[in-house]
Structure 1
Amino acid sequence: MDLLKSNKNIYDNNLLLMYKGEVTFDLVTSIIETLDGRIAEIESDRLIKKKFYGAATECIQNLYHHMDEVSDESIDTYDSKAGLLMVTARKKFFNIMTGNFIPNTKVNVIKSKLDNINSLDKEELKKLYKEILYNGEFSDKGTAGLGFVEIARKTGQKLSYEFHQVNEDYSYFTFQIRVSRVTNKELAEA
């Protein structure tokens, strides 16, 4: 392994945070606080920080809420309870990527939700958010699928995802979003 090349790649991508491991409630709080501090160091625009913070919090909570759905015995070559979080900063956007194992029985449901969210415009997302909030059935984890909708609303971006089947029971779910660092004012001036 060429560590110099790896270090250069991390530096060039401006890696703000990378974590792989079990995601606990205390860790969620710690990661959010760490990211809040790191973003405050490099981003001055209050609205961009707010969008980033909201989207990152939803992504991290999503990892936390779904860690217990995997059995250690079913995935023998990987740390089945490990989640992956990587946050990078580019000149025009922040990139947040998560990864975790999920039961194959949930792949089609998640894919359907994400595809539906990606097909909606800003007003339709707002309507879906309100509909889920008022009519949604909350799971035992306290979620009703609001997280993905909220991320799409906060970022104004399409949600990028992939599923990689690991075995007959589980797949690895990667989820990636971008939070623009370009303000509306900068867009108008361009």
Structure 2
Amino acid sequence: MDYLRSYKNIYDQNIILMFKGELTFDLVTAMIGTLEERLEELEENRKVKKKFYNVATECIQNLYYHLDEVNADDMKVSSYDSNSALIMISARKRFYSLQTGNYIPSSKTKEIQKRLDDINAVDADELRALYKKVLAEQEFSDKGTGGLGFIDIARKTGGQKLRYKFQPVTDKVSYFTFQIRLPRLEA
């Protein structure tokens, strides 16, 4: 009967999309398409729908672009597990919630934590200025990113803090959990 409890929990959470496994380009494309369809059904406010779709797309693409940074040998697990990601998107009455999880090199945790803490420490005006500064100064990586993703997500979530956690897996690998909330009701 545990499966009934799990089903009820998923139903009560109003989960739009839930995935755990290895991400491929085709799967990312399909997930983004499914998300767009589900948001069309759920959200009447066009502005909220567009913001959340853009934020969720950025988060899903980030997972895919950074999966290859972890070496399976460092984890002592299969390459499938090292390329595994978690995505859970739910619609609550007052907000949308998106949570992702993926393995990252432990050597990157301090850099990511500093970036997220710096973003969480500023107000909306300072965030706009930071976005413009990074856009003007940053060189783009070989993955096409310039470090703007977290800033852009924070800008679109309307002042909600970016939540995160790092859990050590081995001395070389950590599990990075990232969560955002986007209000469904526009002020």
TM-score normalised according to structure 2 size: 0.95
C-alpha distance in 2, partners of 1:47/1:133? 24
Residue 109 of structure 2 corresponds to 107
C-alpha distance in 1, partners of 2:42/2:76? 40
C-alpha distance in 1, partners of 2:22/2:139? 27
Please point out which of 164, 170, 174 is paired with 1:171: 174
C-alpha distance in 1, partners of 2:3/2:29? 31
**Structure 1 contact 22–67 (Cα < 8 Å) conserved:** no
- 1:2 equivalent to 2:16? Answer no
C-alpha distance in 2, partners of 1:58/1:124? 21
Aligned length: 184
Please point out which of 93, 96, 119 is paired with 1:94: 96
Residue 120 of structure 1 corresponds to 122
Residues 117-141 of structure 1: CA deviation (Å, up to 9, x unaligned):
0001111111111111111022111
Which residue identity does 2:93 align to in structure 1? K
Residues 43-81 of structure 1: CA deviation (Å, up to 9, x unaligned):
111001011011101111110111000112222357111
RMSD: 1.1
In the alignment, structure 2 segments of 5+ residues that lack a partner are: none
Residues 2-48 of structure 1: CA deviation (Å, up to 9, x unaligned):
11111110000001111112222222221111000001101111001
Q: Percent identity?
A: 57
Structure 1's consecutive aligned runs of 4 or more residues displaced over 3 angstroms after TM superposition are none
C-alpha distance in 1, partners of 2:49/2:181? 13
Which residue identity does 1:128 align to in structure 2? L
C-alpha distance in 2, partners of 1:9/1:119? 34
Residues 86-105 of structure 1: CA deviation (Å, up to 9, x unaligned):
00110001100000000011
Which residue identity does 1:141 align to in structure 2? K
Which residue identity does 1:106 align to in structure 2? K
Residue 46 of structure 1 corresponds to 46
Which residue identity does 1:176 align to in structure 2? Q
- 1:28 equivalent to 2:28? Answer yes
TM-score normalised according to structure 1 size: 0.94
Three-state SS of the structure 2 residue aligned to 1:20 is strand
In the alignment, structure 1 segments of 5+ residues that lack a partner are: 185-190
- 1:84 equivalent to 2:86? Answer yes
C-alpha distance in 1, partners of 2:14/2:75? 32
